[in-house]
Structure 1
Amino acid sequence: MAHPDIAAPLPEYDIEVGTLVIGAGAAGMIAALRAYETGQDVLVIEADPLPSGSTALSAGLIPAAGTKLQQEAGIEDSATLFAQDIQKKARGENEQALVDVLAHNAAPVIDWLMQTHGLPFSVVTNFDYPGHGRRRMHGLPTRSGEELINALRGRIEHLGIPLICERRAVTLYAQTGRVHGVQVMRPDGAAETIAAQRTILACNGFGGNRQMVSRYMPEINESLWFGHDGNNGDAISWGEKLGAATRHLGAYQGHGNVAHPHGILITWAVITEGGFQVNAMGQRFWNEAQGYSEAARAVLSQPQGYAWSVFDARIANIARQFADFKNAERQGALIWADTLDALDEKCGFETGSLRQAVAARPAQGEDNFGRTWSEQHLNGPFCAVKVTGALFHTQGGLDIDPKSARVRMKSGELFQNLYATGGAAVGVSGTSDSGYLSGNGLLAASVLGSIAGLG
Structure 2
Amino acid sequence: MNPVICAGTPPADAPHIPVAVVGAGACGLTAALLLADAGIECVLLERDASPSGSTALSSGFIPAPGTRVQAARGIEDSAQQFARDIQAKAHGTAAPHLVDAYAAAIGPALDALAQRHGLVFELLEGFLYPGHSALRMHAVPEKTGAALMDRLLRAAADAGLTILGDALVRELWVDAGRATGVGYQRPDGSIERLRCDAVLLACNGFGGNPALVRELLPEMQDATFAGHGGNDGSAIAWGRALAARLADLGGYQGHGSWAVPHGVLVSWALMMEGAVQVNVRGERFHDEKQGYSEAAVDVLAQPGGIAWNVFDTALLEFARGFPDFVAAEAAGAVRHAADVAALAALIGCEAPVLAHTLAGTRLAAPYCAVKVTGALFHTQGGLDIDAQCRVLRQDGTPWPNLLAAGGAARGVSGNAVWGYLSGNGLLSAIAGGAIAAATLATQLAKETS
Give TM-score, length-normalised by structure 2: 0.95
State the secondary structure of the residue aligned to 2:418.
coil
- Contact 1:246–1:399 (Cα < 8 Å) also in 2: yes
1:264-413 aligned at under 5 Å gives the runs 264-361=264-361, 377-402=362-387, 404-413=388-397
Note if 1:3 corresponds to 2:16. Answer: no
Gaps of 5+ in 1: 362-376
Q: Which residue of 1 aligns with 2:443?
A: none
Per the TM alignment, residue 421 of structure 1 is displaced from its structure 2 partner at its CA by 0.8
Per the TM alignment, residue 339 of structure 1 is displaced from its structure 2 partner at its CA by 2.4
Q: Which residue of 2 aligns with 1:370?
A: none
- Contact 2:119–2:155 (Cα < 8 Å) also in 1: no
Note if 1:418 corresponds to 2:402. Answer: yes
Per the TM alignment, residue 7 of structure 1 is displaced from its structure 2 partner at its CA by 1.1
- Contact 2:24–2:45 (Cα < 8 Å) also in 1: yes
State the secondary structure of the residue aligned to 2:208.
coil
Note if 1:453 corresponds to 2:437. Answer: yes
State the secondary structure of the residue aligned to 2:172.
strand
State the secondary structure of the residue aligned to 1:434.
helix
Note if 1:207 corresponds to 2:192. Answer: no
Q: Which residue of 1 aligns with 2:149?
A: 149
How big is each residue's C-alpha offset from its partner over 1:369-419, in whole Å with a ceiling of 9 and x where there is no partner? xxxxxxxx22333210000000000001111111x2111111111112101
- Contact 2:259–2:265 (Cα < 8 Å) also in 1: yes
Q: Which of the pair is proportionally richer in helix?
A: 2
1:90-239 aligned at under 5 Å gives the runs 90-239=90-239
Note if 1:73 corresponds to 2:73. Answer: yes
How big is each residue's C-alpha offset from its partner over 1:221-256, in whole Å with a ceiling of 9 and x where there is no partner? 110001100001111111111121111111111001
Per the TM alignment, residue 80 of structure 1 is displaced from its structure 2 partner at its CA by 1.1
Identity %: 47
- Contact 1:208–1:225 (Cα < 8 Å) also in 2: yes
Q: Distance in 2 between matches of 1:217 and 1:300?
A: 14
How big is each residue's C-alpha offset from its partner over 1:401-455, in whole Å with a ceiling of 9 and x where there is no partner? 11x2111111111112101010001100011100000000000100010111222
- Contact 1:59–1:322 (Cα < 8 Å) also in 2: no
Q: Which residue of 2 aligns with 1:263?
A: 263
Gaps of 5+ in 2: 441-449
Instruction: Tell me whether 233-242 or 439-448 shows the greater mean CA deviation.
Output: 233-242
- Moved >6 Å (runs of 4+): none
Per the TM alignment, residue 348 of structure 1 is displaced from its structure 2 partner at its CA by 2.5
Q: Distance in 1 between matches of 2:72 and 2:157?
A: 31
- Contact 1:205–1:395 (Cα < 8 Å) also in 2: yes
Match of 1:438 among 418, 422, 427: 422
**Quick one: which amino acid aligns to residue 379 of structure 1?**
A
Q: Which residue of 1 aligns with 2:19?
A: 19
State the secondary structure of the residue aligned to 2:419.
coil
Give TM-score, length-normalised by structure 1: 0.94
**Quick one: which amino acid aligns to residue 424 of structure 1?**
A
Inter-CA distance 51–11: structure 2 relative to 1 (3 Å threshold):
closer
Q: Distance in 2 between matches of 1:210 and 1:53?
A: 18
Q: Which residue of 1 aligns with 2:245?
A: 245
Q: Distance in 2 between matches of 1:279 and 1:345?
A: 13
How big is each residue's C-alpha offset from its partner over 1:111-156, in whole Å with a ceiling of 9 and x where there is no partner? 1122222212111102211111111110112221000111101111
State the secondary structure of the residue aligned to 1:352.
helix
Q: Distance in 1 between matches of 2:316 and 2:109?
A: 31
Q: Distance in 2 between matches of 1:257 and 1:323?
A: 15
